Structure 1
Amino acid sequence: MPSIDITHSHGKTPAQARKAIEQVAKKLAERFEMAYAWDADTLNFNRAGVDGKIQLLPKSLRVTADLGFMLSMLKGPIEAEIRRVLAEKFD
């Protein structure tokens, strides 16, 4: 079961939502040396200690991630930051 599982509704078109997700992924890649790649409407990302995905659904996004031992201790702050970014980009 994923360590993090967040669903966030949005009113963007699929193209707008995909662009916003791509912008977030680029920032994460730069800040945390995270690799990412699209597979249809799912952006998969990973780095040491985290493996996750962002699914682009018609009216929502679903962020799931498995956190390694060290990052699992920071689950609360990580979830809070994900929710903040989603609200900033998709509300």
Structure 2
Amino acid sequence: MATVDITREHTLGKETARERAQKLADKLAQKLDAKCTWQGDELTFKRSGADGTIQVSDDNVRVQVKLGLMLTPMAGMIRGEVEKALEKYLA
């Protein structure tokens, strides 16, 4: 099982970062066909073979994705997609 774990700092404020994290989650949900739910400042997403969280704080966003056996070979591609999305949405 592979894990993608990326943290990015931001200067957007928590509310704006949370709104942008939702856009990131929408993109992940589309690509991974996942279901997303918020609990406080943490968004959880799940699908068959992958699950994870997006945690939003005042100065950073952390994305963790746990990949099952079938998606483990795609870990590098998924990491790249998450990094590109973080750069786009937290700029």
Could you tell me which amino acid in structure 1 is paired with residue 82 of structure 2? I
Q: Which residue of 1 aligns with 2:41?
A: 41
TM-score when scaled to structure 1?
0.89
The answer as to whether partners of 1:2 and 1:64 remain within 8 angstroms in 2 is no
Q: How many residues are aligned here?
A: 91
Q: Structure 2: state its 5+ residue gaps.
A: none
Q: Identity over aligned residues, as a percent?
A: 34
Q: Structure 1: state its 5+ residue gaps.
A: none
Q: Which residue of 1 aligns with 2:16?
A: 16
Q: Which residue of 1 aligns with 2:50?
A: 50
Could you tell me which amino acid in structure 2 is paired with residue 9 of structure 1? E
Q: Which residue of 2 aligns with 1:61?
A: 61
- Alpha carbon RMSD of aligned pairs, Å? 1.7
Question: SS at the partner of 1:43?
Answer: strand
Question: SS at the partner of 2:44?
Answer: strand
For residues 26 and 9 of structure 2, what CA distance do their matches in structure 1 show?
Answer: 22
Q: Which residue of 2 aligns with 1:83?
A: 83
